Amino acid sequence: MTGQTAETSATTSPDAVGAPAGAVPVPPVPKPPRRVLRAVARWIVAALVFGGLGAGTAFGITSMERTDVPGLATRSDGRWDYPELSLPALPAGAPRPYSDGNVAEIHHADLRSLLLPAPAGATVDEKLDGGWVSTEQYLSEYARSERPALGRLLDDSAPRHIAARGWTMPDGTSTRIYLIRFNSTAFAQGLLDSIIVTGSAVPLVGTSETVLDEEWAGSKVTGTSSYVYDEVKPYGEARVRQGYVVAGDTLALVVQSRKGREDTRSVPFHQTLILQNQLLG
């Protein structure tokens, strides 16, 4: 350290060897006290540390869902508290419906395991407990005048299985989900084409006319298609919403209604439809 100081003094001193004759002496620049340098160094290190911590925290928050961040876990928008979802196990060697080895887009998992589970606080419907149901049960969701024609369509397409789950939330909102598996994607798409028309769909029980749900932005699950409809005012005893998802060989129907209230939120219905779509994709 002493050698470096001496060398610095020699190169900056006006009396150093090689300085031009008659040159005006340049006064040496005073060095800040060592304690000032140490204080500045500590501030720089502190700034870097806190900057790094801040960047790490910001990255962690932006990469997490809102409900994963403590203090931001709010459901004021009406979302329901569903359990953590995971895709069911497949038989040995069976591919997922949209993998390269499954051109026919067949769901090899047990259809009942693809049903969305009920959210927290729900009372499960004893008739729709996640097991198999009959075609008559599925048809019972539609207006009585529409059932004969839909029944003939189902007979012609010969569905392999129908599974269903239903529940009611504490606020009275009722939800029913039906999954129908066919022998091919053509039958699933064919039934859906018969149920929906441009801007409308076959009415369900308690409704007379439906329109496309303008609030629906789509679930964006690769390989699937979704169609969502809302009841036209004036509502009957309950406002009824219905959504369809066609996913390969399987057609899903999601129905949600709430008696005596016209202000039913679309958020839990859209949330339910999106999650069910993800399980099928």
Q: Residue ranges of the domains in the chain?
A: 30-74, 111-280
* Tokens representing residue 125 in the block: 């419907």
Please report, to the nearest 10 degrees, the dihedral formed by the alpha carbons of residues 80, 85, 88, 89 taken in order. -160
Q: Give pLDDT tens digits for 237-248.
A: 889 999 999 999
Q: Check: CB of residue 135 under 8 Å from CB of residue 151.
A: yes
| Measured distance CA(181)–CA(250) in Å, rounded | 4
Over range 54-66, report the average pLDDT: 34
pLDDT category, 100, cuts 50, 70, 90? confident
Residue 136's Cβ-side half-sphere holds a number of Cα atoms within 13 Å equal to 1
pTM of the model: 0.73
Which pLDDT value is given to residue 15? 43
Give the distance between the most distant pair of CA atoms in the chain.
116
Which pLDDT value is given to residue 25? 52
| Measured distance CA(162)–CA(206) in Å, rounded | 23
Q: Is 186 a residue whose pLDDT tops 50? A: yes
Find tokens 């207006």 and name the residue.
143
Over range 101-118, report the average pLDDT: 92
Of the candidate ranges 57-61, 102-106, 172-176, 183-187, the one whose mean pLDDT is the lowest? 57-61
Looking at domain 111-280, its CATH class is alpha beta
Over range 198-211, report the average pLDDT: 89
Of 128, 160, 116, 143, the residue nearest 240 (C-alpha): 143
Which pLDDT value is given to residue 28? 52
Can you list the positions of beta strands (E) in the chain? 123-132, 161-168, 173-181, 196-197, 200-201, 210-212, 225-231, 238-247, 250-259
